[in-house]
Amino acid sequence: MLKTFVNPVNKSQDVKALVLPFEAVGISDIPLVGGKNASLGEMIQQLRSKGVKVPTGFATTAYAYRYFIENAGIEKKLREIFADLDVENVDNLRQRGKQARALMLQTQFPEELEDAIVEAYQLLCEQYGLDTDVAVRSSATAEDLPDASFAGQQETYLNVHGAPAVLEACHKCFASIFTDRAISYRQIKGFDHFNVALSVGVQKMVRSDLAASGVMFSIDTETGFKDAALITAAYGLGENVVQGAVNPDEYLVFKPTLKEGYHPIISKRLGTKEIKMVYNVGGTKQTKNISVSHHERQQFALNDDEILVLAHWACLIEEHYSQVRGTYTPMDIEWAKDGITNELFIVQARPETVQSQKQKNVLRSYHLKAEGEVLVTGRAVGETIGQGKARVILDVHQINQFQPGEVLVTNRTDPDWEPIMKKASAIVTNTGGRVCHAAIIAREMGIPAIVGCGGATTKINTGEEITISCAEGETGKVYQGFLPYEIQEIPLEKLPHIRTKIMINLGNPEEAFSLSTIPNDGVGLARMEFIIANHIKAHPLALIHYDELEDELAKYKIAELTPQYENKTEFFVDKLAQGIGTIAAAFYPKPVIVRLSDFKSNEYANLLGGKQFEPKEENPMIGWRGASRYYDERYREGFALECQAMKKVRDDMGLTNVILMVPFCRTPQEGRRVLAEMAKHGLVRGENDLKVYVMCELPSNVLLADEFSEVFDGFSIGSNDLTQLTLGLDRDSALVAHLFDERNEAVKRMIASSIHTVKRHGRKIGICGQAPSDYPEFARFLVEQGIDSISLNPDSVLKTLLEIAVAEKPF
């Protein structure tokens, strides 16, 4: 069934106007000036007063487009061209599109339309200067709808100067309503080609060729996590980011505490930004791409203040459109920074069309069931898994070689590739970020994509069987062969309600947003070690004493990791704060219990530069670890960096749901020394609602639980270490591994004793060890003892929840 987008035209407008200034149109005028132009007018009218800057301009109307068609009498010829259209046949589609565009371009604009465009452009020149530079963009009357974006279907022309060039660009935009990709997209979405009109927006250019630009979403594009704004940035004009020609920087900002006045930049990822699009001064083309210097590539394109301003604008735009539409409306927004004035501007905004349409009451997850050889990695788009034979295509003119169900492997895509993208089982590109064209279309089509892989087109061969996994965090992996995988679907409304709080064990910030959708009461164990080992990679003392490092290779590798940081310790603080901040934001305002570092000395030694600062211990498992390091002169300044990072999370980002936890604390006296050390760095127990827990993993923690209750606010049982130390065995030793069992009666008595004592003293107690994840009967035992919370590995939450529901019935 063909769709005709109908929306009452704003009665205040002259529906027979050929051109209207942006200031005269609003969101109700989509049928008159298209979604893009209506949105620009809406923001100028409604959001400028709130500080959102939008460049002005004008739009030709849908009436102007239809007047052009009717005045020239070409509709009949167009219908004849499309009489035998077959969008599944690439050659047929190309031929019909070429004929239609040629007809449009050969048809002269009516004189009245030319005069109206020239007059409007001259008014713009009076404001900005003679032959002012403008962007000329197509805006279809069926685009930017909640369920169909039509993004990039028609043409855009940048750096257009002078009335003749503006007229020519407008004419080309009219013709671009019949690009191959636009024809195909309308057909797929069920829109009648002759019920869609085209408006052209002429907007003052922002000189981002001298600065930076990008795209931002008011929602996380992969997980649908609605409390984060995702911002991408690269140097130069924004087309390279949209088309995926560059790997941009990416920033995540947590919206709830941003609105409260905090500065919650929870993630900053440096992109390669190898090229930038600039004005082609004196050339025949309006723009050109040039290389970005190595120094610039190593720097972020935006500073923190600019990131926060853009995120604030994303919140304002989302709130406004949600109010206008009467429903939550996440937004897809293009921004640009003017290199002359250093001002930021919003140049486009449209509703996000993928995550907002997803079913929310079913938890669907994909899981690989086998390991395989990884061919390439890149940025994961979506959280699914796809398979197929690879088809490497480097030129859009070769897309007719593509077969349905294959995996498209290419350098990058643009809208001209869309006729085959809808047939692909997955997409893999060399370049691009999470908001590039390939990523946007893959999400809309519901297929996995991995972008920014680098050498995918040389490492993957046509005809090769491959598995594309986007289900393992932010890094997508292309595996050789067809690996087995499963899809789990859980209807969330059918889950039982229980008394015992179910929390999650988590170390990888990249998984936090997606795992937060699992039914939970917060995070019972957030491990610092994963962030330090995988994101920081360097020993904290090696960063503090960087100039004194003896290991030249480690020094070189640290320099490679920290090009933005003259003071290397700031790298540690920022990365740790962002990692923990991402986890805390994902579960906010639920409690997130963050365990302070618990590396053993041999593990610390394996970090970059670590061997210089670590002793060699015979048994690191029960040696210099946890609390004993924090106040020791040999590590105290390293622990200070951890404290600075946690203070940044709580005070600067506003994530006060973070509870800190001290591991391997042997005595109450040692606990007091650790609290005193934390207080030196601004982490005072009780201030700003700071709670500090202790791991209950040593027999002394159990036997002195009453005294430890006077020092700490809560306890978390670490069943692995408690089993090890109760039974007197090394859990790393294969010789005695068969004796390791948390269900041993001695261990259970220790756990029961700790629960009863702690609760008698009015403190919280949970468990974050492996046992309840592995053994349902152990979870039932904990419930019987009256434990407050059980923290589980994510993959065992649902099955354990059901076991606990059964165990709670008699209570």
Residues carrying an active site annotation: 437, 768
Q: Is the dihedral of CA 128, 129, 135, 141 positive or negative?
A: positive
- The C-alpha angle 377, 379, 381, rounded to 5 degrees, equals 120
Between CA 522 and CA 502 the distance in angstroms is: 8
**375 in Cβ contact with 458 (< 8 Å):** no
Give the span between the Cα atoms of 767 and 692, in whole angstroms.
15
* Contact present, 182 and 155 (Cβ < 8 Å): no
Which letter does DSSP use for residue 429 in this model?
E
- If we measure between CA atoms, which residue out of 223, 752, 220, 800 comes closest to residue 521? 800
Residue 792 tokens read as 């589980």
CA quadruple 418, 419, 420, 424: dihedral positive or negative? positive
Cβ(550)–Cβ(528) under 8 Å?
no
All residues at 6 or more sequence positions from 200 whose CB lies less than 8 Å from its CB, including other chains: 59, 60, 136, 137, 138, 139, 169, 170, 173, 174
Name the one residue in this structure whose structure tokens are 């990058």. 412
Buried b (16+ CB within 10 A) or exposed e, 629-640: bbbeeebeebbb
Distance (Å, rounded) from C-alpha 287 to C-alpha 310?
A: 26
The answer to whether 42 and 184 have CB atoms below 8 angstroms apart is no
The dihedral over CA atoms of 283, 288, 291, 297, expressed in degrees to the nearest 10, equals 130
Token couple for 512: 């936090």
The string of DSSP letters for 458-492 reads: HHS-TT-EEEEE--SSSEEEEEES---EEEEEEEG
Q: Which residues contact 514 (CB under 8 A, 6 or more apart)?
A: 222, 223, 225, 383
Q: What are the structure tokens assigned to 653, written together?
A: 């980002």
Q: Which residue has the tokens 């030129």?
A: 395
Tokens of 807: 């165990």
Using CA atoms, how far apart are residues 671 and 413, in angstroms rounded to an integer? Answer: 57
Cross-strand bridge partners of residue 230: 217, 252
**Cβ-based burial of 383 (10 A; exposed 0-12, middle 13-18, buried ≥19):** buried
Give the residue from 163, 171, 166 showing the smallest Cα distance to 68: 171
Nearest Cα to Cα of residue 580 among 641, 525, 509: 509
H-type alpha helices, 253-303: 255-258, 294-297
Q: Look at phi and psi of residue 625 and say left if phi exceeds 0, alpha if psi is from -120 to 50, else beta.
A: beta
Decide if 315 contacts 181 (C-beta within 8 A).
no
Give the residue from 140, 142, 139 showing the smallest Cα distance to 5.
142
Residue 396 CA to residue 417 CA, distance in Å, equals 6
H/E segment holding residue 765: strand 764-767
Whether omega for the bond prior to residue 404 falls within 30 degrees of 0, making it cis, is no
| Closest to 579 (Cα-Cα) out of 480, 504, 655 | 655
